[in-house]
Chains A and B, each alone.
Chain A
Amino acid sequence: MFTALIAAVALAAGAPETPNPQHPNEEAVDPYVPSDANAGAAPFAGDAMWRAFHGQPGVDRVVDGMVDRSLADPRIKEIFESHDMVRLRRTLKEQFCYILGGGCAYSGRDMKSVHKDLGVQRTDFNILVEHLQSAMEDEKISFRDQNRFLAKLAPMQRDAVER
């Protein structure tokens, strides 16, 4: 109710085309209400996981490693090709930071909205997870910590997969 009210106010006030004017390299997206709840998972308590992922530099490498692998993968690259990779990398880094207990705010949209009409199948979702696993291995993150993180991401399959 409250968020709906804010959205209504924002719309009435004529929300800017680009909700993040501090990111001029990104394409405009339709207005939405930013919220950490959009990240799709509750963050880990404490900073143990954040440290296990080597903080922001580590998370940046993991996200870039995952996205780079996905863009190079003929099985799923089409899903990404028509999208703003600058924005994707930034919001993924925020999302991972938020969930891992790094204290970031997540400014992106919710998982259902961002995957709408992408036609993602479970197989695509799992291929992305495999690329994430490879990126986490490259970052020398322990298998147990990888799985603890994947446990947070796995339920997002319900919102990401459409068919």
Chain B
Amino acid sequence: MRPRCIALLVGVASLLGAGSASADDLRPSGKLLLTGGVTTVEGSGGGGLSSWATITGYATRDGVGANVHATRVELPDYQFRAYGAAVGLFDRIELSYTRQDFNTQGTGAKLGLGRGFTFHQDVVGVKVKVLGDAVYDQDTWVPQVAVGAQYKNAAKAPIVAALGGQDDDGIDYYVSATKVLLAQSMVVSGAVRATKANQTGLLGFGGPGGEDDYSLQFEGSAGLLLSKRLLVGGEYRSKPNNLGLKEDDWWDLFAAYAVSKNLSVTAGYADLGTIATFKGQRGLYLSLQAGF
């Protein structure tokens, strides 16, 4: 099922690519290397954990870009996978879909869920650039700013309810600001997210005693461009603790390498803290992105 799903996404992406290449007015691959960003675990263009204001893909306002991605994080007690596709329209609107699998492996038995129990989540995202340009506007400190929303559906109502969560679906809203500081060869990005999500939604939304309200959380990235192909940096993402399960903030260190405008590889080390009472969930982060 999973390989077939990825094959389908790749197929759709190549169809989109063929379509845009054959239309004279649509020009793919117009942006500079890496300035399209990579893909977050939630499917948005950005770093690995934090959404940027950039629109996914390499198209400028003259064209359409798209990406497929597959990401895995190997944790001591869990395995986290995400895969999906995103389209960038005229460097203005980004539409994305990502499927997350959070496999509890042997931990599932200890949690009473059963060995190999897997939390799933579908994330449908939309992002709109509202002002600025992260790359061109080097004569001002004004960043590129985008607003976005992510509809998340974990489709596990009984377990979410058992954990104390209110809902198994919800919507995150965010405002993101991203700037490429060319003179410093740096990329910085920060976003404020209104969310009810527990472990970004894998464990549902809201908590037991009135923690049903949105809270404002922060996510940010800072990276150094070492060459036009290589970006190294770190990320931080704060999270609410609605379920009282000592949910931790997330952070990572990453290196994103653009093999070409059609393929980039991101490797990193992610610390996802305590997840469902299991502490120290730190491990290797690996993500492949293919597109144009």
User: Which positions in A face B, CB cutoff 8 Å?
Assistant: 41, 121-123, 126-127, 129-130, 133, 143-144, 147-148, 150-152, 154-155, 157-158
Q: Are A133 and B228 neighbours in the complex by a CB distance under 8 Å?
A: yes
User: Contact residue range for chain B?
Assistant: 20 to 34
Q: How far is the CB of A110 from chain B (nearest CB, A)?
A: 15
Q: Which 9 A-B pairs have the closest CB atoms?
A: A123-B30, A151-B182, A122-B60, A151-B183, A151-B138, A155-B139, A154-B138, A123-B27, A157-B136
CA distance A157 to B136 in the complex (A): 7
Q: Are A144 and B185 neighbours in the complex by a CB distance under 8 Å?
A: yes
Q: Are B30 and A126 neighbours in the complex by a CB distance under 8 Å?
A: yes
A-B contact number at CB 8 A: 55
List of A residues within 8 angstroms of B137 by Cβ: 154-155
Q: Are B136 and A158 neighbours in the complex by a CB distance under 8 Å?
A: yes
Given that A126-B30, A147-B225 are known contacts, is A154 also in contact with B136, CB under 8 Å in the complex?
A: yes
CA distance A93 to B27 in the complex (A): 30
Q: How far is the CB of B182 from chain A (nearest CB, A)?
A: 4
At the interface, yes or no: B32 with Cβ under 8 Å from chain A? Answer: yes
List of B residues within 8 angstroms of A147 by Cβ: 182-185, 225
Q: Are B32 and A122 neighbours in the complex by a CB distance under 8 Å?
A: no
Q: Are A129 and B32 neighbours in the complex by a CB distance under 8 Å?
A: yes
Q: Are B228 and A155 neighbours in the complex by a CB distance under 8 Å?
A: no
Q: Are B63 and A123 neighbours in the complex by a CB distance under 8 Å?
A: yes
Across the interface, B182 reaches (CB within 8 A) one of A126, A150, A158, namely A150
Q: Would you give 19 A-B contacts (Cβ < 8 Å), ordered by A? A: A121-B60, A122-B60, A123-B29, A123-B30, A123-B63, A126-B30, A127-B30, A130-B32, A143-B185, A143-B226, A144-B185, A147-B184, A150-B182, A151-B138, A151-B182, A154-B182, A155-B137, A155-B138, A157-B136
Across the interface, B60 reaches (CB within 8 A) one of A126, A143, A148, namely A126
Apart from A121-B30, A154-B138, list 18 A-B contacts with CB within 8 A: A122-B30, A122-B61, A122-B62, A123-B60, A123-B62, A123-B63, A126-B60, A143-B226, A143-B227, A143-B228, A147-B183, A148-B183, A151-B138, A151-B181, A154-B136, A154-B182, A155-B136, A155-B139
At the interface, yes or no: B156 with Cβ under 8 Å from chain A? Answer: no
Given that A123-B60, A126-B60, A143-B228 are known contacts, is A152 also in contact with B27, CB under 8 Å in the complex?
A: no
List of B residues within 8 angstroms of A144 by Cβ: 185
Q: How far is the CB of A36 from chain B (nearest CB, A)?
A: 16
List of B residues within 8 angstroms of A143 by Cβ: 185, 225-228
Binary A-proximity of B70-99 (CB < 8 A = 1, otherwise 0): 000000000000000000000000000000
At the interface, yes or no: B31 with Cβ under 8 Å from chain A? Answer: yes
Given that A147-B183, A151-B182 are known contacts, is A126 also in contact with B139, CB under 8 Å in the complex?
A: no
List of A residues within 8 angstroms of B62 by Cβ: 121-123
Binary A-proximity of B32-71 (CB < 8 A = 1, otherwise 0): 1000000000000000000000000000111100000000
List of B residues within 8 angstroms of A121 by Cβ: 27, 30, 60, 62
CA distance A152 to B137 in the complex (A): 10
At the interface, yes or no: B135 with Cβ under 8 Å from chain A? Answer: yes
CA distance A97 to B117 in the complex (A): 64
CA distance A101 to B32 in the complex (A): 26
Q: How far is the CB of A74 from chain B (nearest CB, A)?
A: 13
Residue of A41, A122, A127, A129 contacting most chain B CB atoms (<10 Å): A122
List of B residues within 8 angstroms of A122 by Cβ: 30, 60-62
